Chain A
């Protein structure tokens, strides 16, 4: 009798804990939410598909050997030449000098904010630096061509030694503009990585008599290295993909050079110049935009995946 009551109670309890019905609504909502997440995958698929079709069409007309190994990019000439290296070099030229500016400045700012600054300075300076990341790139492009070039580069350029700088467009102007744009990316992500290094490591070093510099460079920097490298890779990816600054300040002369005082054309600038307005769908120009876009997409994809992997794989988990 007692046992039966007990069993009955257990049965009652388990019955009450079950859902009264199958709850199709819950399943429906879950499906709907999953659909939202899948949409992001769809975006990538659509990007790849949009690039693929015209790119294949492009390679039916222009041989791949010309595209990948020639260094003349003259689509408007007769006969046209499509050597993508000329504009890949333009992009890399700008990115290289931008990084030579942004990496020391960004890392310096990150180390200062994380290791030297008082909490109050850090609370003020970090958001102010992040404002830079939110400034529209068209404004930075205008700044590069109307201020950085005439007021900074041309007066400071070391004379005829390295060639003249009387050009209206110069890779270096775009580089410094882009450098300014990516400084907060490097500073902010690296600072986060350095702040995540536990205090115990620092205090151990201080107890051994290390100076702040030794602590910063020999203890904190190596411990935060994966985050720092990821921030730099992300910054390079941004520099390679930036359009408006190179379009306004870099010029429009495809030029396979790494000299900072030459006028160049970056891949993004070529796309932006060529695909504007009513370009006819079947033309070789239209298709070339997609071929260049595919190169750009693959280049940045490789860097982004590297950056994501670095952050994941080498994330130090303390405690």
Chain B
């Protein structure tokens, strides 16, 4: 029930606002509209690029989509029976290796940097800058490292799957460390102080209070790191993910392959059928990666703690 008086007051206020703010120069108002349109256009271009990429893969790869992709081995001669079986198994084994290397070392490094390191000491700051830089070193450089240090040189493993795993692990280690640090940093100090005040040691505090509270964040980081490793082809080209492997790869056996490398190899062949196979492979990878990333986002939102 609005009284006459209130209506008058509202009208007066509105008139005052219009008088003081409504006379923005016409040029500014027009410019603002144009600017907003351009910004919206930028968003739409980016979204259209994404949509076009997904749709094109779907349309071009659909004819080759069947369970044969998962059971058949690659072939240079008969694209109609060629598949991805060794590449899929190779990727799974590579990823298993990456997780084994990266989870303990990444979390350990993050705990040290967040819980123990005194960031006023120059060596701890150097470690931090170093990790930030490593996260942006081109992936092909890790391939060179793998070639010179793991495949040949000091470790001298040869072109085996474990060498690929190690190379990818070093590549994604900084991602895991950075994500785990953020998750650990988000646990408030009062939790630590409460634990210490009750007589827990530093490590007991970390193991029983800090780590359980930061596991969702750490898991999100690990999933994102694994999905990055899964899609990476360039370093594997250098450490021996040879392409026509028609047998199931073993960790130390000679020769292995991986999904992105196999897709690359089909894609650069001129025949239409191989291109279709490459697109089918892209669909398989995109489905897996999107599922992993959505799971990571869900995990973050579901278990994110507000202190």
Binding site for B on A (CB under 8 A): 19, 23, 25-26, 29-30, 32-41, 43-44, 46-47, 49-51, 53-54, 104-109, 111-113, 116, 125, 127-129, 131-132, 134-143, 146-147, 180, 183-184, 187, 209, 211-214, 216-217, 234, 237-238, 240-244, 247-248, 268, 271-272, 275-277, 281, 289-290, 293, 296-297, 300-301, 303-305, 307-308
What residues of B have a CB within 8 angstroms of the CB of A49 in the complex? 149
What residues of A have a CB within 8 angstroms of the CB of B63 in the complex? none
Contact for A39 among B36, B105, B133, B152, CB less than 8 A: B105
What residues of A have a CB within 8 angstroms of the CB of B201 in the complex? 19, 23, 26
Whether A268 pairs with B140 at a CB distance below 8 angstroms is yes
Closest residue of A by beta carbon distance from B116: A30
Most buried by B among A36, A105, A113, A248: A36
Chain B min CB distance to A91 (Å): 10
Task: Give me 15 A-to-B residue pairs in the complex whose CB atoms sit less than 8 angstroms apart, sorted by A's number.
Answer: A36-B106, A39-B173, A109-B46, A131-B50, A132-B50, A135-B286, A136-B260, A137-B233, A137-B234, A139-B286, A146-B56, A213-B31, A271-B144, A301-B133, A305-B129
B4 at the interface (CB under 8 A from A): no
Comparing B7-15, B67-75, B263-271, the segment that makes contact with chain A is B263-271
What residues of A have a CB within 8 angstroms of the CB of B42 in the complex? 104-109, 112
The complex places the Cα of A124 from the Cα of B36 at a distance, in Å, of 19
Contact for B39 among A25, A111, A277, A300, CB less than 8 A: A111
B242 at the interface (CB under 8 A from A): yes
What residues of B have a CB within 8 angstroms of the CB of A237 in the complex? 136
What residues of A have a CB within 8 angstroms of the CB of B253 in the complex? none
What residues of B have a CB within 8 angstroms of the CB of A276 in the complex? 237-238
What residues of B have a CB within 8 angstroms of the CB of A30 in the complex? 112, 116, 202-203
Whether A37 pairs with B141 at a CB distance below 8 angstroms is no
Whether B138 pairs with A268 at a CB distance below 8 angstroms is yes
The complex places the Cα of A217 from the Cα of B38 at a distance, in Å, of 13
What residues of B have a CB within 8 angstroms of the CB of A19 in the complex? 201
Contact for A46 among B41, B129, B145, B230, CB less than 8 A: B145
The total of Cβ contacts below 8 Å across the A-B interface reads 274
Whether B264 pairs with A134 at a CB distance below 8 angstroms is no
Contact for B133 among A36, A38, A305, CB less than 8 A: A305
What residues of A have a CB within 8 angstroms of the CB of B173 in the complex? 39-40, 43
B279 at the interface (CB under 8 A from A): yes
Chain A min CB distance to B126 (Å): 7
B139 at the interface (CB under 8 A from A): yes
B186 at the interface (CB under 8 A from A): no
Interface membership of chain B positions 239-263, coded 1 if the CB is closer than 8 angstroms to chain A and 0 otherwise: 0001000000000000000001001
What residues of B have a CB within 8 angstroms of the CB of A47 in the complex? 137, 141-142, 144-145
B165 at the interface (CB under 8 A from A): no
Whether A140 pairs with B53 at a CB distance below 8 angstroms is yes
What residues of B have a CB within 8 angstroms of the CB of A240 in the complex? 138
The complex places the Cα of A129 from the Cα of B53 at a distance, in Å, of 13
What residues of A have a CB within 8 angstroms of the CB of B170 in the complex? 43
Chain A min CB distance to B307 (Å): 19
Contact for B149 among A50, A134, A138, A180, CB less than 8 A: A50
Whether A281 pairs with B264 at a CB distance below 8 angstroms is no
Chain A min CB distance to B69 (Å): 16
The complex places the Cα of A300 from the Cα of B238 at a distance, in Å, of 20
The complex places the Cα of A301 from the Cα of B35 at a distance, in Å, of 36
Interface membership of chain B positions 119-134, coded 1 if the CB is closer than 8 angstroms to chain A and 0 otherwise: 0000000110111111
B64 at the interface (CB under 8 A from A): no
Main secondary structure of the interface of B (DSSP, over half): helix
What residues of B have a CB within 8 angstroms of the CB of A51 in the complex? 144, 148
B282 at the interface (CB under 8 A from A): yes
What residues of B have a CB within 8 angstroms of the CB of A183 in the complex? 46, 49
Chain A min CB distance to B231 (Å): 3
Chain A min CB distance to B233 (Å): 5
Chain A min CB distance to B99 (Å): 15
Chain B min CB distance to A40 (Å): 5
Comparing B79-87, B187-195, B214-222, B289-297, the segment that makes contact with chain A is B289-297
Chain B min CB distance to A266 (Å): 10
Whether A112 pairs with B43 at a CB distance below 8 angstroms is yes
What residues of B have a CB within 8 angstroms of the CB of A243 in the complex? 138-140, 233-234
Most buried by A among B20, B36, B115: B36
Whether A41 pairs with B130 at a CB distance below 8 angstroms is yes
What residues of B have a CB within 8 angstroms of the CB of A111 in the complex? 39
What residues of A have a CB within 8 angstroms of the CB of B228 in the complex? 134
9 A-B pairs with the lowest CB-CB distances in the bound complex, closest first: A241-B138, A108-B42, A136-B231, A36-B108, A243-B234, A50-B148, A33-B112, A112-B39, A36-B109
Whether B138 pairs with A138 at a CB distance below 8 angstroms is no
Contact for B29 among A32, A184, A211, A289, CB less than 8 A: A211
Known: A125-B43, A132-B50. A290 touches B144 (CB 8 A): yes
What residues of B have a CB within 8 angstroms of the CB of A127 in the complex? 297
What residues of B have a CB within 8 angstroms of the CB of A25 in the complex? 203
Chain B min CB distance to A179 (Å): 9
B163 at the interface (CB under 8 A from A): no
The complex places the Cα of A33 from the Cα of B124 at a distance, in Å, of 13
B94 at the interface (CB under 8 A from A): no
Whether B32 pairs with A275 at a CB distance below 8 angstroms is no
Whether A209 pairs with B105 at a CB distance below 8 angstroms is no
What residues of B have a CB within 8 angstroms of the CB of A142 in the complex? 263, 267, 278-279, 282
The complex places the Cα of A289 from the Cα of B285 at a distance, in Å, of 30
What residues of B have a CB within 8 angstroms of the CB of A147 in the complex? 52-53, 56
What residues of A have a CB within 8 angstroms of the CB of B263 in the complex? 138-139, 142
Whether B109 pairs with A40 at a CB distance below 8 angstroms is yes
The complex places the Cα of A35 from the Cα of B170 at a distance, in Å, of 15
